[in-house]
Copies of this chain bind each other. A is one copy, B any other.
Amino acid sequence: MKARVHVMLKNGVLDPQGEAVRHALGTLGFEGVEAVRQGKVIELDLAETDKAKAEASVAKMCEKLLANTVIESYSVEIA
């Protein structure tokens, strides 16, 4: 079973990486880019075959390792 996790900085937390990308796009001549946020995506191949169990397990992984929940939010998709 495959899982995909998105980890993004929470709204209100400064995202210098995203800001750098926005600035670079402007320099390259791309107009109309109003805001950019950059985050991480983590794709996991799991041995688990039960969707609910997989989702619970991945949520635990996020809490423990994948996301810093003080400043980052995460979302889990199971496919």
Expressed in whole angstroms, the minimum distance between the Cβ of A69 and any Cβ of chain B is 15
Of all chain B residues, the one with the shortest Cβ separation from A38 is: B42
State the copy count for this chain: 2
A64: chain B residues at CB < 8 Å are 28
Contact (Cβ within 8 A) A41 B41:
yes
Are the CB atoms of B44 and A36 closer together than 8 Å?
yes
| Most chain B beta-carbon contacts within 10 A, residue among A25, A37, A41, A45 | A41
For residue A19, CB closer than 8 A to chain B, the reply is no
Minimum CB–CB distance from A44 to chain B (whole Å) comes to 5
Q: Are A42 and B33 neighbours in the complex by a CB distance under 8 Å?
A: no
User: What's the least CB distance linking A23 to chain B, in Å?
Assistant: 11
